[in-house]
Structure 1
Amino acid sequence: MATEDKMSKEERAAHEAQERAREQAEQEALPYKWSQELGTVSVSLPLPAGTRGRDLEVVMDRRRLKVAVKGGATLLEGELFEDIAKDDSSWTIDDGVLTFELEKMSAHIGSHRWWPHVLTHDPRIDTTKIQPENSKLSDLDGETRAMVEKMMFDNQQRQAGKPTSDEIRKMEALDKFKKAHPEMDFSNAKMG
């Protein structure tokens, strides 16, 4: 199969449409629905008819989720993609649906990133294709908005096989250093 950079515009569009359809089918086959923002992941799990909170065993640990009917079937279980801030996360039941609001630990340490899946054994989504809604982007504070814009730029650069903003910054710093020190030999210099 041809790599994407060797495909024609039409072949690339057909390939991307096929990948989106495959990804969507995989996500629809999951027993739950999920969505995410930079700092949170929301997971909605339909429950068997008549199930109440007291009928469930719910485990929400730093890196693990489990939902089982007491004395019955396990509805969801697995390792989370990344740590969550357990004390800032919650779950509720409303109209027969259990909903988790998981606070990404990465958001607490200022290292925002998109999750490719909720549970590590589930199919992944292509996080380079995530486009935050423009209206929501404008609602973000300046620092968070700059971080999201940087992530979007870096994803687009990687897709195009071009250097990310950090790599560009390193190349510019090296060029500046070369100009300041013309007496030095940089022929074996490596970026890393």
Structure 2
Amino acid sequence: MANDPERFDTMLLAMAQQHEGGVKELLDTIVGFLARKTDFFVGGKEGEWEKVVKDIFYKHSAKAREEADKIRKEKEEADRRLKEIQQKKEQERLAKDFEPATVTELTDKEAELMQEDIEKDKKTKTENGSGDSADVAEPSTTAADDDEDDPKEKGKLKPNAGNGCDLEHYRWTQTLEEVELRVPLRQVLRPRDLTVVISKRHLKVGIKGQPLIIDEELDADVKIEESTWVLQDGRNLLVNLEKVNKMNWWGRLVTTDPEISTRKINPEPSKLSDLDGETRGLVEKMMYDQRQKEMGLPTSDEQKKQDVLKKFMEQHPEMDFSKCKFN
């Protein structure tokens, strides 16, 4: 207990809160106390108090710098690992996107047999009333038709395969956790030739000396410290934006973009075990709250409020809560 460096923190924090002038004013109070109530300045040899002050301040300065360097190195290592992961993901995507199609040549005999199968299939469909001459059935009413009738969905674009949008100068996709932006560049560039500024709710992207490609407000907030960008092959800029709210789909990248219909988003199926701890907890909470609402029971947040109120009432039996209304 005697060696615990934090045992006086509560007392010192209370003192610090009463010094609006900050650290300088707090130190003035402490040193004034030593001058008035102790022999700190006059009880020892000439200049001894200066040596004591220097030794103590330098000791804690070294500790503070060591801790700051440790945090900085950990952040740099985390950033390096994140960039490696992003580069690996992008290489896998590029390999998949640009995988050449394979062509298999058929022999004359195989081509003849294939043509016979096609003719037989056409004949079967015609006999069953499902060929080209068959009557075309009227399309049934679907959810997509309902979306078209909804005024809120009018004019909205259908999401691309990545649940984002393909635009003239860039393409963006999204998951519940992040947004990925790809900007093809028409020339070979270096990272220092680019302007990329990621703010909490604003994005700037462009080539230095040229009008910015993007300089607009984002559709929602992002985590600046977890958002990254990388230049690939000198021709493709990849920007990853980490969402703050991981429960919502974005309707557009920036506010000047055309809006997509989030109703038509088709997320890839995933297991809860595939999600990170924070996202998994949010999804499980959301699923639990939905089940509770369906059964007419309180959600997790409502249950917490009720538990706190119940505990308070048990601790204060002398109080009358009969006339109180609780939402």
Instruction: Assess same fold via TM > 0.5.
Output: yes
- Post-superposition offset of 1:129: 2.8
Equivalent runs, 1:43-192 vs 2, <5 Å: 43-95=181-233, 96-107=235-246, 112-135=247-270, 139-140=274-275, 144-145=279-280, 147-148=282-283, 165=290, 168=293, 171-172=296-297
Secondary structure in 2 aligned to 1:119?
A: coil
Distance across 2 between alignment mates of 1:77 and 1:143: 31
State the distance in 2 between where 1:104 and 1:78 align. 17
**TM-score scaled by length of structure 2:** 0.38
SS at match of 1:99: strand
How far residue 130 of structure 1 moved from its aligned partner, in angstroms, is 2.6
Deviation at 1:170, TM superposition (A): 8.8
**Cα deviation, residue 17, structure 1:** 9.6
Q: More helix per residue: 1 or 2?
A: 2
Q: After superposition, what is the alpha-carbon deviation per residue over 1:97-127, rounded to whole angstroms, capped at 9, x for unaligned?
A: 11111111224xxxx2211111111122222
Q: Which amino acid in the other structure matches residue 44 of structure 1? A: R
Closer/same/farther in 2, CA of residues 85 and 144 from structure 1, 3 Å limit: closer
Structure with the bigger percentage of strand: 1
Taking the TM superposition and a 5 Å limit, the aligned residue runs for 1:20-31 are: 22-23=157-158, 27-31=165-169
Higher relative contact order (CA 8 A, sep 6+): 1
**Counterpart residue identity of residue 142, structure 2:** R
Identity of aligned residues (%): 38
Q: Find the aligned partners of 1:65 and 1:48 in 2 and give their Cα distance.
A: 21
How far apart, in 2, do the equivalents of 1:171 and 1:9 lie? 38
- Deviation at residue 49 of structure 1 after TM alignment: 1.1
Paired with 2:156 and 2:244, the residues of 1 have a C-alpha distance of 31
Inter-partner Cα distance in structure 2 for 1:135 and 1:31: 31
Bigger Cα Rg: 2
- Equivalent-residue separation in structure 2 for 1:38 and 1:22 (angstroms): 19
Which AA in structure 2 matches 1:165?
Q
C-alpha spacing 1:40/1:134, structure 2 compared with 1 (3 Å): same
In structure 1, C-alpha distance between the alignment counterparts of 2:143 and 2:244, rounded to whole Å: 36
Gap change, CA 1:79 and 1:171, over 3 Å in 2:
same
Give the SS at the match of 2:213. Answer: strand
Instruction: Go from structure 1 to structure 2 and tell me whether the alpha carbon gap of 1:141 and 1:47 turns closer, same or farther (over 3 Å shift).
Output: closer
Deviation at 1:169, TM superposition (A): 5.3
Residues 126-146 of structure 1, C-alpha deviation per residue, up to 9 Å, x if partnerless?
223333222455522687457
The reply to whether residue 10 of structure 1 matches residue 129 of structure 2 is: no
8 Å contact kept, 2:205–2:215: yes
CA RMSD of aligned residues (A): 3.8
Q: Report the 3-state secondary structure (helix = DSSP H, G, I; strand = E; otherwise coil) of the residue aligned with 2:142.
A: helix
Question: SS of the residue aligned with 1:165?
Answer: helix
Whole-angstrom distance in 1 between the partners of 2:193 and 2:278: 43
Match of 1:38 in 2: 176
> Which whole-Å CA distance do the structure 2 matches of 1:169 and 1:21 have between them?
31
Q: Distance in 2 between matches of 1:129 and 1:137?
A: 22
CA gap of 1:23–1:150, structure 2 versus 1, over 3 A, is farther
